[in-house]
Amino acid sequence: MDKYKNGQNIAAANERNIRTDFKESMTYGDYLHLDKLLSAQDGVSGHHDESLFIIIHQVSELWMKLILHELSAAIRHIEADDLQPAFKQLARVSRIQSQIIQGWDVLSTLTPAEYLEFRDDLGNASGFQSYQYRMIEFALGYKTKHVLSIYEKDPVLHEQLTEAFHAPGLYDAAIQKLARSGFKIDDSVLTRDVSTVYEPNDSVREAWKEIYRNVDEHWELYQLAEKLVDIEDWLQQWRFRHMKTVERIIGFKQGTGGSSGVNYLKKVLDQYFFPELWQIRTDV
């Protein structure tokens, strides 16, 4: 008993310095702007399950903001031939992707009957319109110009997306790095219009093949390749969980944004961002 009391006394003494007066100081809530963050879940239906729907999508958008932050930094480091920081940033992107994927597990607790209670109140608002997701696609090299028209309502946002659309993506930076490292890459690839969807190229495929066959000689480029594969792998898993969650909740109904819903989501599963890195799995 004495030991117990002594332990309590020591614990109490250790906690005497805990700050409780914040009249003139910043609190945890102030720093995170929790007043704004936690009041941003205003639904349109009043239905109990709409809070789940809103929060899952808001959390995903916050994670996507961090993905874009890390991808932008990684591209800059690759362009500067400074690969080690890029590896850390790309690894962080993969971890973030795993968190977003788990969000679908929570959303899948929403049943078709529950979603129907407020789906019509969403109007034409749809995850298809997520501009941060489009910017992630742009950063990974998948660029379709027609989607820019979705954002013409907001000139500032439209300009931001247009700039991202015309900027080199992660794979563009990686291929340029291959060329700077002495690999023979076709000029048509190195000077291509980066606002178009990347098409597989034999010279790029041969370069990656050489790297995978001589890992010790090209260790950093091999690491870069595997980081890219990780990101695409996780993204495809995210897309698959998205598709299955939508199918589970609304079946094959048309999406609120006008897309074909599940059929559209199945189609994008066939898209590749870094095609040669998947092709060489068969080659080596």
Residue 3 lies in a domain: no
Rg of the chain, C-alpha, whole Å: 24
- Check the annotation: does 10 bind a ligand: no
Residue 187 lies in a domain: yes
Residue 40 lies in a domain: no
Pair 174, 228: CB distance under 8 Å: yes
Residue 13 lies in a domain: no
Count CB neighbours of 79 within 10 A: 16
- Check the annotation: does 242 bind a ligand: yes
Pair 92, 70: CB distance under 8 Å: yes
Domain count, the chain: 1
pLDDT score recorded for residue 261 = 78
Tell the residue number behind the tokens 């944004």, with chain if given: 257
pLDDT score recorded for residue 139 = 97
pLDDT score recorded for residue 4 = 60
Q: What is the pTM of this model?
A: 0.89
Q: How far is CA 42 from CA 48, 108, 181, in A?
A: 12, 21, 52
- Check the annotation: does 56 bind a ligand: yes
Q: How far is CA 279 from CA 177, 184, 246, in A?
A: 20, 18, 30
pLDDT score recorded for residue 268 = 83
Alpha-carbon dihedral angle through residues 241, 104, 139, 187, given to the nearest 10 degrees: -10
- Check the annotation: does 142 bind a ligand: no
- CATH at residue 77: 1.20.58.480
pLDDT score recorded for residue 14 = 65
Per-residue DSSP letter, 259? S
pLDDT score recorded for residue 204 = 98
Residue 38 lies in a domain: no
Pair 284, 213: CB distance under 8 Å: yes
- Check the annotation: does 48 bind a ligand: no
Helices (H), the chain: 2-14, 28-32, 34-37, 50-79, 83-107, 112-116, 131-139, 155-165, 170-180, 187-190, 202-213, 219-250, 262-268, 275-283
For 170, phi and psi rounded to 5 degrees?
-60, -40
Closest CA to 101 of 53, 138, 51, 64: 64
Per-residue DSSP letter, 46? -
Residue 277 lies in a domain: yes
Residues 114-166: tens digit of each pLDDT: 999 999 888 888 878 899 999 999 999 999 888 899 999 999 999 999 999 99
Q: What angle do CA 255, 258, 262 make, to 5 degrees?
A: 35
Closest CA to 284 of 175, 200, 205, 182: 205
pLDDT score recorded for residue 125 = 82
Q: Which residues of the chain have pLDDT under 50?
A: none
Residue 106 lies in a domain: yes
Pair 78, 220: CB distance under 8 Å: no
The whole domain housing 61 covers 47-252+260-282
Residue 208 lies in a domain: yes
